[in-house]
Structure 1
Amino acid sequence: MLMRSLKPPELINGTRCIVVSCNPNVAEVEIAAGAYKGQRHFIPRIPLEPSDTQLPFNFQRRQLPLRPCFGMTINKAQGQTLKYVGLDLRQPVFTHGMLYVALSRTGDRESIHYLAPN
C-alpha cells in the first residue's frame, strides 16, 4: 500500500500496488485495483525529516513510501471495491457508519466473512 500521495489521481495515499521489482533507490509497482489498474509506476525513495524533534541536530532518512498490506482498517478501505471482505467483530466497531462502509466494500454478501464472539 502506498503511504504518500505522489502523483494524483493515480498514485495517492492508500493505493494498493503489487511490487514488480525493488532496487535500492526505486521500486517498480503495478496498481492492483481501481480505475488505473495495471498501470506501472516507479516509486522513488523520498527524504523524511521528523517534525517534532528535541535533538540539537537535524537528520533525515530516505525510504520507500510503501507498506505491506495484508489487511486494512475500515477507514483505509473507504472508497475501494474489494472481491472479499473479512471483518473481525470481536471488538465492536466505532459507529454504525463504519460498519456500513466495511460491509459495502463488496457487491456480494457471499463475499463477506466475519469473526464474531461466540
Structure 2
Amino acid sequence: MISLNTCEGRLYLSSDTMCKSDSTTKLLQQIHTPEFLNSIKCSGVPNHELFLKVGTPIMLLRNIDHANGLCNGTRLVVTKLGNHVLEAKILMGDNAGEKVLIPRMTLTPADPRLPFKFQRRQFPIIVSYAMTINKSQGQSLSHVGLILQKPVFTHGQLYVAISRVRSRSGLKILVCDNDSSRTTNVVYKEVFQNL
C-alpha cells in the first residue's frame, strides 16, 4: 500500500542495545550483536526498520499523552517527517483532526520468549492499514471490512467487530470458508453451566 503513495518516503532505523541491568551484560553483548538485536520482531515493539511517507496511516503502540488522546491503539495519519519527531493528525476520538508530535522512545519488550532484555529506541508506531478485532474495541468507524478466514474464535468477538461500524452500509464482510456466505460464531456452552 505504501508503494501506491507517490510522496517521497523516509526510512527510520532503530538503535538497539542490551539492558544494562543484567549482571551478564558484557557476555550478552558479545553474543547478541546489534545486527542480531535489529533482526528481532516482537509484539508491542516497532520493527528496526520503519519506512514512512506523508499520508501513511499509523497506530500508536504506547500511551504517550492520555489527556490529548495519544494512547495505545490511537490511529493517526503522518503529516510531516522530521529527524527526531513525526507530525501526525489524529483520526478518531475527541481529538480527531488535531496535529500532534510523536518522539522516538526507548522501549523494552516484555516478551517472555526472549531469555534476555534489550532496549529499542524507535518511534512507538506501526503502519496500520488494518487492525485486529481486539484493537478496534472502543472505536467508532464509518467503514469496516472484516476478513474472516476462519470462524470467529471467541464468543462475542464477531459482535465487537460488527458493532464498530456506524451504519450497515459501511460494513463489508468477506467469509473465506469454502465459498460460503456464513460463518460460525463460536460459543462455548460449558462456560454457562455453573451460572
Could you state the TM-score of these two structures normalised by the residue count of structure 2? 0.55
Quick one: distance in 1 between partners of 2:134 and 2:118? 32
1:8 aligns with 2:71: no
Deviation readout 1:30-68 (Å, 9 max, x if unpaired):
10111110111111100123556656xx85331000111
How many residues matched?
A: 116
3-state SS of paired residue (2:126): coil
RMSD of aligned C-alpha atoms? 1.8
Structure 1 residue 88 displacement after superposition: 1.3
Unaligned 5+ residue runs, structure 2? Answer: 1-58, 180-195
| Greater radius of gyration (CA) | 2
3-state SS of paired residue (2:87): strand
Residue 149 (structure 2) aligns with: 90
Q: Percent identity?
A: 45
Quick one: distance in 1 between partners of 2:123 and 2:98? 19
1:100 aligns with 2:159: yes
3-state SS of paired residue (1:96): coil
Quick one: distance in 2 between partners of 1:79 and 1:26? 28
Change (3 A) 1:48 1:107: closer
Could you state the TM-score of these two structures normalised by the residue count of structure 1? 0.88
Residue from 111, 118, 136 that aligns with 1:77: 136
Residue 36 (structure 1) aligns with: 95
Choose 82-91 or 65-74, whichever is displaced more: 82-91
Quick one: distance in 2 between partners of 1:54 and 1:88? 35
